[in-house]
Amino acid sequence: MPIPRSNITYNVLRVKLLTLLILITCSLNGYSQLFSSEQNPPSIKWLQINTDNFQIIYPSSFEEQAQRMANTLEGIVGKVSSSLGKKPKRISIILQNQGTSANGFVQLAPRRSEFFATPSQSFDYQNWLNSLAVHELRHVVQFDKLTGAFNFPPFESLALAMFGVSLPSWFFEGDAVTTETVLTEAGRGRIPEWYIAYRSNTLSGKNYSYSKNYFGSVKDFTAGYYQLGFFMNTKLRRDFGNNINDSLITRISKNPLRPYNFSNSVKKFTNLNTSKLHKSTVNELKELWSEQLEKIKPREYRSLNKRRNRTPQSLLLPVNTPTGNILYLLDGKAKTQGIYEMTKDGKTRKVLNIGIQEIPWFSYAAPKIVWDELRFDARYQKRSFNVINIYDIRSKSKRQLTHKSRLFAPALSPNGQTIAAVEVSPSQQISLVILSAQTGKKIRRYPSPNNFMLQMPAFNQTGDKIAVIAVATSGKTIFEVDLNTGDFTQLMPLQLQEILRPVYSNGGILFKAHFNGIDNVYTLNHLNKEIVQLTSSMYGANNPSVDTKSGTILFNNYTPEGYDISSIPINTPGTNITSIEKAVLNYADPLIKEEGETTIFENLPSKKYSSKRYRELSNLFYFHSFRPIAEDIPNSDNKLLGFRLQSDNKLNTLSFYTGYQYNQNFRRSEYETGFIYSRFFPILAVSYVNRPDASSVRGSGGRVIPVTYRENEFKADVSVPILLNRFNNIYRFNFKTGVSQTSFYDIESTVPVTFKILKFPVHYEFSASRTSRRSARDLAPKWSQNVSFRYRHFPFENMPKGDILTFNSSFFFPGLATNHSFQASYNFQFNSGIYERNTNIPRVSGHLFMKPSNARNTFLLDYRLPLFYPDWELGPLAYIKRFKAGFFADFENIDSGRKSFAPRSYGAELRADMNLLRFPLPNFDLGGRIIFLNEKSIQNPIFETVAVYNF
């Protein structure tokens, strides 16, 4: 997508920042996305279950899970809300089963929570929906505790803004993770890999600031605000009592306009501000983690890869090839994900790029590579697929094997002829499936015993058995599947362990677990069922693979710069887990006694609820918010001030608004209403506005006569958006057409005016783009092509006459060095009649200070490069992640026949990426530019401020 060019004065920037703080919204889902407004396919039949505290909305194919979740939510709501002293109000829970990504969120405006039901291939050792229920329900309690006086229609947006401004995201996410960890036998706070970056940084002396751990970095791996929040929140509750969060939120809610409300309240109850709380937490964790290291006595492992710089990156899933080289999946800050090959002398080359994955994954054999990727539904983004791709190393060809499938963690058989994968149906029936590696067709399906969730299958050396992880309601185990008989044999009792990545080796099965408190490689003996620890890593070991030819086990060994590749002999002696030094550190354990020492899922009710149809037509409207309007009037210092009443239904199919505005220019009122209906493949948008306006006509002698009037404008648009992805490219297409009708009345003019109505001008738009994936450090996609056409005319009018055709484009290319970007943008327009003076293409920089010109086309060149990554914390005002520079040259009317091909303006810019006022979103891009005009001007050069923000 094109990089936006925004020139905003400091005064306007201050207004926008203030408005942003008033209207800011926050997301509570596991991946830090903003709330989705996408839809499900219209073919889904929706049902509902109504309980005392919940309305559960779900697809008809999800009846069994909906009944279970109704009982689960009713059974746990009291326990989840206990420590905050607030029973939540009734809320709608939407169970989404059409997607393939594990996720969840809670929101206001409209009030609802969505559970995305497909489990991940690497979540913790309990039922996924149970885990979601605890975490997301805790967010509901937080909402109601803080905003209970406001979070009802039509003030839900106000309540959401209050929540987003009052509580830092590390606090509300940390509180939810602490709750899921304390109230269950699992939870992310018990998983060492989840906080591995935080622990390794702390133990290695990387004393990052509060802001760096909170907002992240493009320079280093950092804790992340979920992890930071878990430890800081748990620290609060350990030191100041389990009810400290109740006290904090109660105080904030009583005076929501208090400056720095959260930090002020923390200091009130603890005598610590947030930075001091962060420092105190890190100091305590360093002491505890150091004591843990003393107990486990870790060993050092030589890294087989050579790091040429401090760029953070992980070399995941290492596996030997017959030539002695090593394949691995690269995941880092400076490069997009891809599969690479490292030779014996340490040289590396990229084998192939890969697309969006649910977790990093690939499998190698004979010599082929298979991996899975997420695929979007072309129109209904609540639905997605997980497909399998294959790459032949000999022919260097790749292709997509399956289409519209829900298959995860594919594993190649030793002969490369078949593929094993986990299949999760929309009704959440779990199976192990065998596919042809040639055609992708399913050969056989093995239903999971007890419908346990299956993870990460692996073939044995002869290809007739498969080891696979199974996740029960509480605990994990390893099953062995006999492909001839279809029998599942459980190889160990259920373990409260994050067991992952099983691999056959020497009469046993290797896997990752954390029996001693740190992730390490273990082996399960096939004969005596003993579990033996093979590695003793300082920070964590993962992803074992076996090379019988060299007699070694490759594995990932974590360092503060990411996962390296190490190895041990295949016959390495180990230690039985009954004899290892246990150094398990569950930071939240001291809180368990205060919560009652019983797991939250004990003694759940088993009531059979009645269900009924959830009909869209009777639930089209949900008026949730009055929203203030404060919009700039173009070419004026005045504003449009007013309000809008907003309705959005809970399935995102109808968005309706109506509003009032006062136009300060004309000192008159404006009225508007409209809706967007998105259930079907085309999206229909209809709007009406009644407003004052002004224009001019030519009188006798060519005099320009001003005309004021009111107008009624009706608009109707139909659009067809298409979103596709394939490998590491994303494709977008959109076709839009619409008509309008405008009638004029209360016309005030000193000369007669004949126009009364403007009938049905028609516009058409088409846009298309292809964009490659970006790394965290990339300033723009390495490769991207974006084009759009727009045409507007009057097919049903003789007067006025005119039309306008515009073409916009932007093309991105790799720069001269890593993460640099070069952009070229060519744009043109043809216009006539009433549109003769319109300019609807991007203008050259500084055009407002140039002589007026009729811009028929523009050619804009930009080169952008990162300078350095300071990670500066400027107190509570700003946290600056990156400085970057750019150079540009802008051309206009390049077909004018000029003898010299010279830019009309050119210049340079200096900008910085930052977070302001300790808000994680939006991300701000602020700076300035100097523009030189290639002509005489009153002002030359020109200095402009630049402000861009994004979510």
Query: How do residues 397-437 score in pLDDT, each as one tens digit?
Result: 999 999 999 999 999 999 999 999 999 999 999 999 999 99
Q: Is the pLDDT of residue 257 over 90?
A: no
Q: What is the pLDDT of residue 736?
A: 97
Q: How does residue 900 score in pLDDT terms, banded at 50, 70 and 90?
A: low
C-alpha dist (Å) from residue 8 to 13, 193, 944:
6, 44, 8
Q: Of the ranges 185-199, 204-218, 622-636, 696-710, which one carries the lowest mean pLDDT score? A: 696-710
> pLDDT tens digit string along 833-849?
888 878 899 999 998 88
> pLDDT tens digit string along 658-681?
999 999 988 999 999 999 999 999
Mean pLDDT over residues 501-518, rounded? 96
Q: Is the pLDDT of residue 874 over 70?
A: yes
Q: Is the pLDDT of residue 214 over 80?
A: yes
Q: What is the pLDDT of residue 89?
A: 96
CB 787 within 8 A of CB 827: no
CB 230 within 8 A of CB 178: yes
Q: Is the pLDDT of residue 6 over 60?
A: no
The residues pairing with 926 across neighbouring beta strands, listed in sequence order, are 912, 947
Q: What is the pLDDT of residue 18?
A: 38
> pLDDT tens digit string along 24-75?
333 333 333 346 789 999 999 999 999 999 999 999 999 999 999 999 999 9
Strands (E), 103-242: 103-107, 112-116
pTM over 0.85: yes
What does the alpha-carbon distance between residue 340 and residue 484 come to, in Å, rounded to a whole number? 35
Long-range contacts of 66-72 (CB under 8 A, 24+ apart): 66/95, 66/611, 67/608, 67/609, 68/129, 69/93, 69/95, 69/115, 69/129, 69/133, 70/607, 70/609, 71/604, 71/605, 71/606, 71/607, 71/609, 72/129, 72/130, 72/133, 72/601, 72/604
For β-strands 729-748 and 757-772, DSSP reports them as: antiparallel
> pLDDT tens digit string along 344-370?
888 999 999 999 999 999 999 999 999
Q: Is the pLDDT of residue 800 over 60?
A: yes
What does the alpha-carbon distance between residue 695 and residue 691 come to, in Å, rounded to a whole number? 13
Q: Of the ranges 402-411, 460-469, 638-647, 770-779, which one carries the lowest mean pLDDT score? A: 638-647
Q: Which of 632, 754, 739 is nearest to 685 (CA)?
A: 739
Phi first, then psi: give them for residue 918, nearest 5 degrees: 60, 35
Task: Look at the block and give the residue holding tokens 């700039």.
Answer: 632
- Nearest 5°: the CA angle 845, 848, 850 is 85
Q: Which of 761, 765, 758, 835 is nearest to 803 (CA)?
A: 835
Q: What is the DSSP letter of 206?
A: -
What does the alpha-carbon distance between residue 56 and residue 54 come to, in Å, rounded to a whole number? 6
Q: How does residue 595 score in pLDDT terms, banded at 50, 70 and 90?
A: confident
The amino acid at residue 724 is L
What does the alpha-carbon distance between residue 446 and residue 458 come to, in Å, rounded to a whole number? 15
> pLDDT tens digit string along 708-727?
889 999 999 999 999 999 99
Q: What is the pLDDT of residue 695?
A: 78
Q: Of the ranges 439-443, 613-617, 746-750, 770-774, which one carries the lowest mean pLDDT score? A: 746-750
Q: What is the DSSP letter of 751?
A: S
Strands (E), 377-505: 384-392, 397-400, 407-412, 418-424, 430-436, 442-447, 453-459, 465-471, 476-482, 488-490, 500-505
Task: Look at 624 and 151; give whichever has higher pLDDT.
Answer: 624
Task: Look at 594 and 891; give whichever has higher pLDDT.
Answer: 891
Q: What is the pLDDT of residue 899?
A: 53
> pLDDT tens digit string along 301-344?
999 999 988 899 999 999 999 999 999 999 999 999 999 999 98
Q: Which of 784, 861, 865 is nearest to 824 (CA)?
A: 861
Q: Which two tokens stand for residue 133?
A: 């229920």
Burial 19-35 (b: 16+ CB within 10 A, else e): ebeebbbbbbbbebeeb
Q: How does residue 7 score in pLDDT terms, banded at 50, 70 and 90?
A: very low
Mean pLDDT of the chain: 92
> pLDDT tens digit string along 149-187?
888 899 999 999 899 899 999 999 999 999 999 999 999
Mean pLDDT over residues 677-705, rounded? 86
> pLDDT tens digit string along 232-247?
999 999 999 999 999 9
Q: Which two tokens stand for residue 932?
A: 């030189």
Phi-psi region of 597 (alpha: psi -120 to 50; beta: other; left: phi over 0): left
DSSP string, 427-452: T--EEEEEEETTT--EEEEEEPGGG-
Q: Is the pLDDT of residue 555 over 80?
A: yes
Dihedral of the CA atoms 272, 275, 280, 284 (nearest 10)? 150
Q: What is the pLDDT of residue 35?
A: 62
Q: What is the pLDDT of residue 898?
A: 59
